[in-house]
């Protein structure tokens, strides 16, 4: 990004030109490109946990992932979030990596957690009802932008549609709400490409539907759209159609790429969006996957895609160096219903959890596993298995992960 373009972005975002800014960096591909990267092997893995029977408070678990530590693979600490029944789900770092914002799908609470003061013992500094100011429900994806957090919501204030986006200062002060358009009212994930000045949002289903048991969910109330936004002006430029339930959005990390990927959960497939020289985008199916693909990651060089297939109990690795001929090169089975994936910045270690939603999980065996990624593909690490069923309060459903 040129210096003039950089300053223009700061002006639009309302950020002073003297503010500290972290330039986009490769690796850790589920993070916003604005988040400061760690330039060393990871020491701690943070796991956002739902108390399995919703009778005790939800919490953040701190796991030792320092390979040289005598406590490697052990749970070091639990941060009590002070409330239960939240359905804690996704969380993300602020741009300076000092705080985590955690979202909850049932209670609408957002938790702001200090991880910089003592990374081994994070502190809850704020918890608030996000529906009060935003007029939205089901906060899902916290996405860092310079000095701010952009949150995607799955529903409107009454738990229906339209969904929307909301912006906050890093300290939690509300800025504004952006409502989804009437012809594409569903929301889910968000991904930004700063150099292209483009933002993509995807579609799921609103709280009124996902709070029901899976067998009772209305499959007609799931979205099939991606929205292309002008990032600076926050205006929708295009509405694109995919298969049902396009979830995670990942811009390609290939140099000069103008495309990205999403996993369509209800169609067992990965789709691609592609931009032309005039900035117009189209979509198409890239490949068929295992059953119910729920998370998507990619290698730091953009050559491989990794997809977790919740209903067929597998993680797949796809070579996407040729977009006309993607190839399945590796498959592992970590255990029942693998879900979230978090790949390290060097592309060699990928952590995975196995809870999707309390209304959709079919197992009561919850864990964190480690997948080793090498030249010959993926292999499970037999020595790393963190059991999330032995807490004093009983089993916990581990969902999203972050590294420190």
pLDDT score at 30: 80
Q: How do residues 145-202 score in pLDDT, each as one tens digit? A: 999 999 999 999 899 999 999 999 999 999 999 999 999 999 999 999 999 999 999 9
Residues 19-30 pLDDT 10s: 333 333 445 768
Model pLDDT, residue 199: 98
The answer to whether the beta carbons of residues 106 and 85 sit under 8 Å apart is yes
User: Torsions phi, psi of 13, nearest 5?
Assistant: -80, -10
Average pLDDT, the chain: 93
Domains in the chain with CATH codes: 21-290 (2.130.10.10)
What's the rounded Cα separation, in Å, for the pair 75 and 254?
36
C-alpha–C-alpha distance, residues 385 and 368, integer Å: 6
| 39: confidence class by pLDDT, cuts 50, 70, 90 | confident
| The predicted structure's pLDDT at residue 29 | 67
- pTM of this prediction? 0.93
């Amino acid at each position: 990004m040129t210096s003039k373009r950089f300053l223009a972005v700061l002006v639009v975002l309302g950020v002073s030109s003297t503010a500290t800014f972290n330039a986009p960096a490769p690796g850790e591909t589920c993070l916003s490109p604005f988040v400061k990267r760690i330039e060393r092997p990871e020491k701690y893995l943070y796991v956002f946990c739902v108390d399995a029977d919703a009778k005790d408070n939800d919490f953040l678990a701190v796991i030792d992932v320092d390979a040289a530590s005598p406590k490697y693979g052990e749970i070091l600490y639990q941060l009590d979030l002070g409330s239960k029944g939240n359905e804690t789900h996704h969380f993300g770092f602020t741009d300076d990596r000092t705080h985590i914002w955690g979202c909850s799908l049932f209670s609408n609470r957002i938790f702001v957690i200090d991880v910089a003061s003592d990374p081994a013992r994070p502190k809850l500094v704020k918890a608030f009802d996000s529906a009060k100011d935003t007029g939205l429900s089901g906060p899902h994806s916290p996405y860092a932008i310079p000095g701010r957090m952009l949150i995607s919501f799955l529903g409107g204030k009454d738990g229906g549609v339209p969904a929307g986006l909301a912006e906050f200062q890093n300290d939690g002060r509300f800025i504004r709400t952006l409502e989804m358009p009437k012809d594409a009212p569903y929301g889910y994930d968000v991904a930004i490409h700063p150099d292209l000045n483009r933002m993509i949002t995807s579609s799921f289903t609103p709280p009124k539907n996902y709070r029901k048991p899976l067998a009772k969910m209305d499959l007609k109330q799931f979205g099939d759209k991606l929205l292309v936004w002008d990032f600076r002006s926050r205006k929708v430029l295009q509405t694109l159609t995919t298969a049902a339930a396009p979830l995670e959005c990942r811009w390609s990390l290939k140099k000069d790429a103008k495309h990205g990927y999403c996993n369509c959960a209800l169609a067992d497939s990965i789709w691609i969006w592609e931009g032309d020289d005039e900035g117009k985008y189209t979509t198409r199916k890239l490949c068929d996957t295992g059953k119910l693909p729920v998370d998507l990651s990619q290698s730091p060089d953009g050559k491989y895609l990794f997809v977790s297939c919740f209903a067929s109990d597998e993680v797949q690795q796809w070579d996407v160096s040729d977009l006309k001929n993607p190839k399945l090169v590796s498959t592992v089975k970590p255990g029942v219903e693998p879900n979230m994936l978090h790949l390290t910045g060097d592309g060699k270690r990928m952590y995975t959890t196995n809870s999707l939603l309390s209304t959709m999980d079919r197992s009561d065996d919850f864990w964190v596993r480690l997948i080793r990624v090498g030249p010959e593909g993926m292999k499970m690490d037999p020595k790393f298995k963190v059991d999330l069923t032995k807490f004093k309060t009983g089993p916990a459903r581990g969902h999203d992960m972050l590294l420190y």
